[in-house]
């Protein structure tokens, strides 16, 4: 289902070509560095099989929303509206690391299962697709934070968010990007929220003082993996 929905999304939205646009090239390049870091880490831990089936893709979509999301199997999308907030490669790396963590820890899958239970009475996915395809597709889009008005019915849990924050900082550090930028990024997110124009990203990724404090607690751990590469 993820493959089908991902291809449909790309066909219906304006994907920016990395061969013709520096921002799109940056998204793909930074994303691939992170994916390589994650793959190395899992290999070192003897857990390579946990990434079986992942074929990482990183695309930039021309959309004014400040949003990013990841689907099962490593399909990650960043919206152009997020780049004025990330402002630099290291902050973008922390966003991508966060979304990669959602994918490899299967947080969206958990939300999808919860949604099937809450909204469709625990119906099996195959039955839901056959009998209520439109509702099931909408549920899927909500579960993975795709499009606008996301996270209203199925917000990521606090546990899922903090887990993705923690490991997102780690993946960024392992890829050579400064994990401190995660803190700076969320301070900018909080400023956007306080301005009365919160990014769509915040509907599933709430920016708040407690979260920034938690990121500061994760920082020493992430810095153990950080080897600057000029970024």
Q: Which residues are catalytic?
A: 99
Q: What backbone torsions phi and psi does residue 69 show, to the nearest 5 degrees?
A: -155, 165
């Amino acid at each position: 289902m993820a493959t089908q929905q991902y291809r449909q999304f790309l066909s219906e939205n304006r994907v920016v070509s990395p061969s013709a646009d520096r921002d799109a090239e940056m998204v793909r390049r930074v994303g691939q560095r992170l994916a390589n870091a994650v793959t190395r880490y899992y290999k070192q831990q003897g857990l390579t099989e946990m990434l079986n089936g992942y074929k990482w893709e990183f695309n930039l979509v021309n959309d004014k929303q400040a949003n990013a999301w990841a689907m099962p199997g490593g399909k990650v999308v960043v919206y152009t509206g997020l780049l004025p907030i990330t402002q630099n490669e290291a902050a973008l790396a922390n966003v991508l690391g966060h979304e990669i963590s959602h994918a490899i820890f299967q947080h969206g899958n958990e939300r999808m299962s919860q949604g099937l239970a809450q909204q469709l009475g625990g119906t099996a996915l195959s039955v839901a697709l056959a009998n209520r395809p439109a509702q099931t597709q909408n549920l899927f889009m909500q579960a993975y934070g795709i499009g606008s008005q996301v996270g209203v019915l199925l917000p990521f849990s606090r546990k899922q968010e903090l887990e993705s924050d923690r490991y997102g900082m780690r993946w960024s550090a392992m890829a050579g990007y400064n994990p401190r930028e995660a803190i700076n990024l969320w301070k900018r997110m909080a400023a956007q929220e306080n301005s009365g124009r919160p990014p769509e990203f915040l509907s599933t990724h709430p920016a708040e003082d407690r979260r920034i404090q938690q990121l500061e607690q994760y920082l020493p751990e992430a810095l153990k993996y950080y080897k600057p590469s000029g970024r």
